Structure 1
Amino acid sequence: MLAAMIKAICAAVLVTACAMTAPAAAAPAPNADCVPATAPPPDSAPPTSVDTLRQAYSCILDNYYSGPVMDSTGLLKSALSAYTRHLLRYGTDRADLRLPALTGNRDTDWTAFAKALGTGDPGALRAAITGMVAGLQDNHARWIAPPPPPAGGPTGTGIVGASAQQGDGLDPAARPPLYITRVLPGSPAAKADVRPGDILVKVNGVPTFIGDTINQGVPGLLAAETVRLTLKRPTTGRTRTVSIKQGPLTRQPSEVTTKPLPGDATYVRLPGFFKGAADKVIAALRDKPKAVVLDLRGNGGGSPHEVTRLLGAFAHGKITSYFCPLKGDCVPNRTDDSVPLLGSRLIVLTDRACASACEDFSAAVKDNGLGTLIGTRTAGAVSGPGKAYLLDDGSVLLLPQVRHLGPAREIIDTVGVPVDHHAPMTALDLATGRDPGVAKALSLL
């Protein structure tokens, strides 16, 4: 479930970073540097090698936001730590493998490091790249593994939303229970009568909460080919156990949905700031209602351009955020004043799964007094927009090149945007079709 959500988010980021209508890119030749990904990765590429790890190491130092001032020894330490954990897990640890003495010179240190690795184990090398990127502690820095061979479409259980979702991970501040928020129609989960609102008590016999602490191992358990779920239905209190085997899924395109609300208001759900999203919302509001309830719950982000364009329908001449380089002045982003003003009152619904560009939009609304925020604090996952780089094994590095600040020059990353009115969704609300966020919005209107 959550593993599939993370893959989908990574794929969406890659679609934004690469021109997906272009032919597949050729991976860099061995011993070459990483190159900007201007097209999808190739369908086939050599296996991950020590040189792939070198490309990732150099790519981070050359292209990451703080790469030029980064301690390169920290990258190598993170890489070897993850590499050895992989060897231990599979019982293949090496008596001769240890971190060589490092000097801080990126080139001589890499030479010593590569000599210690030898030919390298491909699985452990992939773990090393993952560990190196994780060591940056940046929620917008990612390594996307080489894509598997085409197999006729996506597969999974069809459970693609959970209450503890925070950006593309689990919210450590989540409180029990963990419940399902979205199930794809026609999926294996739907056929097993799994519904939004069903509480996930256990996954493969493992509790989803240990006391009041979310079990961070849940995504890994849910990624199994067959998953055994202990579910509690909030409307009846009945608990049951079902086994779900992954199967084919129907692709669900991102769509803007609307419905009328009382008092000449329009509800608009925007699942992501995908290409063309702003114009779709604006077109849906062409009748210029008195109020717009914009539902951004579960919106994992997307294009900053779509953010400024949609904000231009509600205000002109406003700074929406700042992009700040490592050195020099921050660059302000502004509303797209070419968009005609709607003149509608704006209410925005947010939650902990509202991340990245979604938080960019929410902060601009709050700081500029453009509307009211209802729901829960956003994810706090908006470090900065990234650029994609292709490695020789067909994998992709996503590295932020600037840092994001809100309109008031505040840091939103790791903190989130607070709401004006707290209105969280519960499992019972979801199971019975109630929506406290919309209810609160209507009370304000």
Structure 2
Amino acid sequence: MKHRWLPLAAAVFAVAATLVSAGTATANYERPPACAEPNSPEPPQQTPATLTTVGQAYYCIFDNYFSGPVLDSRDLLVPAFAALTQELQRRGLDQPDATLPALTGRKDPDWRAFSKVYQRIANALPNDEARGAIAAAAIQAMVDELDDNHARWQNKSSQNLVGLTLSAIVGPGDIDPVATQPVYVDRIAVDGPAAVAGVALGDELLAINGVPLFINGVFTKGALSWLMDAPLGSVVELTMRRPTTGETFTASVTAARFQAPRPAVESRLVDGNIAYVTLPGFTPATADQVLAAVAALRAQTGLRGVILDLRGNGGGSPAAVAKLLGALAHGKTTSYWCDVRDRCTPNRTDDSVELWNLPFVALTDRRCASACDSFTSSVKDLKLGKLVGTRTAGAVSGPGAPYLLDNGTVLVLPKHHEIGANKEVVNTVGVAPDHHAPMTAADLAAGRDPGLDKAVSLF
């Protein structure tokens, strides 16, 4: 999607400035300026959220989220108000008149009632930092209430400053609800801070800053945030176990910026004449690279099959999904995008792509998400090949679009929800492999690949 940030941001900021300043000005309680798709690849500088930002997010959900036409305003404003009062309590700033106003379920009157009480609360706060905190809490609560893995408020940097990822992470970066011990390093940047500290692929993570990653079998989310959200320059102490030796050791990782390698399509022949191609993400360019790679390998030898490695593929472009499915079949409906009233539009294979006419296997894992979920569900439903690995992430509620808010943050909302080619729900469920072949810490540490071995055996 082409983003257009700067002219829109300037217009939004100009209008917003007339409505509310740091939070103590008299506010206009009518509808704030509308959110809109950004119009520049460079995001504007972020500023603290205000009442105007909260209102933009509220109306943006009604205008652009797939269930917006049938949403009850109370479903957004009640959790928003609860979240801001909880933020007040955490800060020791609760107020006697911080009470939810009577709401009716009507979008505009409820916003006016909510915003009047909100502004009175904000005016009584001691500083802009506290005012920004209650606004952020309210916005996040509205987004969380949607319970949608493609609805997100992008209000902070998601840069990984430690240079590793863990087996307990699923799809777009969430903690896997089925994560069990041991949690291990499944990807690591060669020159990243973790590698410099002596951490290697397959190392099992036992504790972070002395706090066990599992307590009574329950994942310790707070401890993980020390690692995955480590601020620049902070030091994180990791207690690790190396499965190849059984050694337990401590690694001190200093969060730092580093040059992460750009994921790329890679290809080679395996078992003599099977094309093996990796696909880190679905974009039109990478789809073309996969097609070109298979064609190049085919020119070297008579291929007897194609293995497409989708492990770690976080999704991307629906057009790229259609293109690669077009190499496997023509004239097929691959999925449906539906509105809140279940009026559905079919998605189809890109029949301009030349068919491979070869047996096909896709390798999957819990990070195969979004467009990757969509691709694999189509392969399974339409019987276009076999899936090997583990169940996919099930993070495929619908394609999300970005909307800029007045403080430079972005709300991502899906306009439609997606169902599979057989009209089944894939979102939250994922796609089960035909052959279960999970990667383990010991496999990674020893350089083994049970998924690839199983795929080759199917040919």
TM-score normalised by length of structure 1: 0.91
Long gaps (5+) in structure 2: 17-31, 123-130
The answer to whether the 8 A contact 1:33-1:58 is kept is yes
Higher relative contact order (CA 8 A, sep 6+): 1
Structure 2 counterparts to residues 175-186 of structure 1, below 5 A: 175-186=180-191
The question of 1:26 aligning with 2:9 is answered yes
User: Which residue does the alignment assign to 1:6?
Assistant: none
Structure 2 counterparts to residues 319-334 of structure 1, below 5 A: 319-327=333-341, 329-334=343-348
The answer to whether the 8 A contact 2:213-2:224 is kept is no
Task: Give the AA of the match of 2:3.
Answer: A
User: Which residue does the alignment assign to 2:27?
Assistant: none
1:173-220 CA distance string (max 9 Å, x none): 122111111111211111111111010101112211223333333442
User: Which residue does the alignment assign to 2:222?
Assistant: 217
The answer to whether the 8 A contact 2:328-2:357 is kept is yes
User: Which residue does the alignment assign to 1:108?
Assistant: 109
Indicate the RMSD between aligned Cα atoms, in angstroms: 1.9
Structure 2 counterparts to residues 274-285 of structure 1, below 5 A: 274-285=283-294
The question of 1:127 aligning with 2:137 is answered yes
Alpha-carbon distance change, 418 to 105 in structure 1, aligned in 2, over 3 angstroms: same
Which of 400, 411, 420 in structure 2 is aligned with 1:406?
420
Q: Distance in 1 between matches of 2:144 and 2:342?
A: 27
Alpha-carbon distance change, 54 to 195 in structure 1, aligned in 2, over 3 angstroms: same
The answer to whether the 8 A contact 1:326-1:402 is kept is yes
Deviation at 1:342, TM superposition (A): 1.6
The answer to whether the 8 A contact 1:37-1:390 is kept is yes
User: Which residue does the alignment assign to 1:91?
Assistant: 92
Q: Distance in 2 between matches of 1:279 and 1:24?
A: 33
Structure 2 counterparts to residues 227-306 of structure 1, below 5 A: 227-286=236-295, 287-288=297-298, 289-306=303-320
1:15-52 CA distance string (max 9 Å, x none): xx4437x8675252313111122334643355311011
User: Which residue does the alignment assign to 1:188?
Assistant: 193
User: Which residue does the alignment assign to 1:166?
Assistant: 170
User: Which residue does the alignment assign to 2:125?
Assistant: none
1:194-247 CA distance string (max 9 Å, x none): 111010101112211223333333442212332111100011111111221111
User: Which residue does the alignment assign to 1:118?
Assistant: 119
Runs of 4+ with deviation above 4 angstroms: 22-25
User: Which residue does the alignment assign to 1:60?
Assistant: 61
User: Which residue does the alignment assign to 1:353?
Assistant: 367
Deviation at 1:386, TM superposition (A): 1.5
User: Which residue does the alignment assign to 1:151?
Assistant: none
User: Which residue does the alignment assign to 1:205?
Assistant: 210
Long gaps (5+) in structure 1: 1-16, 149-153
Q: Distance in 2 between matches of 1:147 and 1:439?
A: 38
Q: Distance in 2 between matches of 1:201 and 1:219?
A: 11
Q: Distance in 1 between matches of 2:185 and 2:380?
A: 29
The answer to whether the 8 A contact 1:34-1:390 is kept is yes
Deviation at 1:271, TM superposition (A): 1.1
Q: Distance in 2 between matches of 1:41 and 1:61?
A: 26
Which of 223, 226, 250 in structure 1 is aligned with 2:235?
226
Q: Distance in 2 between matches of 1:46 and 1:234?
A: 46
Task: Give the AA of the match of 1:311.
Answer: L
Q: Distance in 2 between matches of 1:41 and 1:248?
A: 19
**Higher-Rg member (1/2):** 2
The question of 1:142 aligning with 2:152 is answered yes
Secondary structure in 1 matching 2:85: helix
Alpha-carbon distance change, 226 to 92 in structure 1, aligned in 2, over 3 angstroms: farther
TM-score normalised by length of structure 2: 0.88
The answer to whether the 8 A contact 1:143-1:395 is kept is yes
Secondary structure in 2 matching 1:180: strand
Q: Distance in 1 between matches of 2:7 and 2:304?
A: 47
The answer to whether the 8 A contact 2:3-2:37 is kept is no
Q: Distance in 1 between matches of 2:54 and 2:244?
A: 51
Task: Give the AA of the match of 1:190.
Answer: A
Task: Give the AA of the match of 1:26.
Answer: A
The answer to whether the 8 A contact 2:140-2:153 is kept is yes
Identity over the aligned pairs, expressed in percent?
48
The answer to whether the 8 A contact 2:189-2:260 is kept is no
Alpha-carbon distance change, 436 to 419 in structure 1, aligned in 2, over 3 angstroms: same
Deviation at 1:117, TM superposition (A): 1.4
Alpha-carbon distance change, 24 to 235 in structure 1, aligned in 2, over 3 angstroms: farther
The answer to whether the 8 A contact 2:46-2:409 is kept is no
